[in-house]
Chain A
Amino acid sequence: MKSALRKLWLNLSLLIFISFSATQLHADDAHYKNMLIGERAATMGGSYVAISDDSTGCYYNPAGIAYAVGDSLSGSGNMLHKLKTVYTEAIGTQDWIRESESLVPNYFGVLKKYKDYSFCFSYVVPEAFIEHQDLLFDNPLSTVKIYYQSLHSEDITYLMGPSVAMKFGENLSIGLTLYYQYRSFMRQFYNYLESTDGSYEVIYQSLKLREDGVMPKLGLQWSPWSLLTVGMAVDQAVLLNSSFQGDISFHNTDNSTGTTIPTTMMMRVNSAEKRKFPLHLAWGVSYFPTPSLLYTADLDYYQAAENGRADIMNYSGGTEYYLNPTNAIRFGLFTNYTNLPLPDSSTTAPYEYLDIYGASFGYTSYSSSSSLTVGAIYTSGSGKAWLYSGSTETRALTRESLTLVFSASSSL
Chain B
Amino acid sequence: MAHFNKYLWLHIFIFSFGFAVSGQAQEFRLRAHHIFWKNQEAGTDREIDFGRGVAAKILGKYPLLRDERKHKYISQIGTGITAQLGRPELRYYFGILETDEINAFAVPGGYIFVTMGALKLMRNEAQLAGVLAHELAHVGQKHIVRKLKLQSTDSSLTSGIAQVLGSSTLASKIALERLNDLAFKMLMEEGLSKEDEEDADQKALEMLITLGYDPHSYLNYLQSLKPHLAQGGAEVLSKTHPTIEFRYRSLKEFISRHQLDNIQGKKNEKRFKKIMAKS
Contacts and interface: CB of A to CB of B under 8 A. Distances in A.
Contacts, number: 85
B31 interface: yes
Interface of A is mostly: strand
A139 interface: no
A218 to B, nearest CB: 12
A44 to B, nearest CB: 13
B7 A281 contact: yes
A226 interface: yes
A20 B18 CA distance: 48
A311 B35 contact: no
B1 to A, nearest CB: 8
Contacts of A53: 29
A303 B3 contact: yes
B30 interface: yes
A19 interface: no
Contact of B37 (A67, A328, A368): A368
A204 interface: no
Contacts of A180: none
| Interface size range of chain A in the complex | 35 or more
A41 interface: no
A232 B11 CA distance: 8
B33 A288 contact: no
Contact of A326 (B15, B18, B25, B36): B36
Contacts of A320: 31
Contact of A291 (B17, B18, B32): B32
B87 to A, nearest CB: 11
Given A171-B23, A224-B18, A226-B24, A325 B29 contact: no
B24 A325 contact: no
A311 to B, nearest CB: 5
Contacts of B29: 53, 67, 229, 288
Contact of B32 (A223, A292, A301, A303): A292
A328 B35 CA distance: 14
A278 to B, nearest CB: 10
Contact of A69 (B3, B23, B34): B34
8 contacts: A170-B23, A171-B24, A281-B7, A311-B3, A325-B33, A325-B37, A328-B31, A368-B41
Interface of B: 3-4, 7, 10-11, 14-15, 17-19, 21-26, 28-37, 40-41
Report the 5 A-B pairs with minimum CB-CB distance, sorted nearest first.
Answer: A325-B36, A171-B23, A226-B24, A366-B33, A322-B32
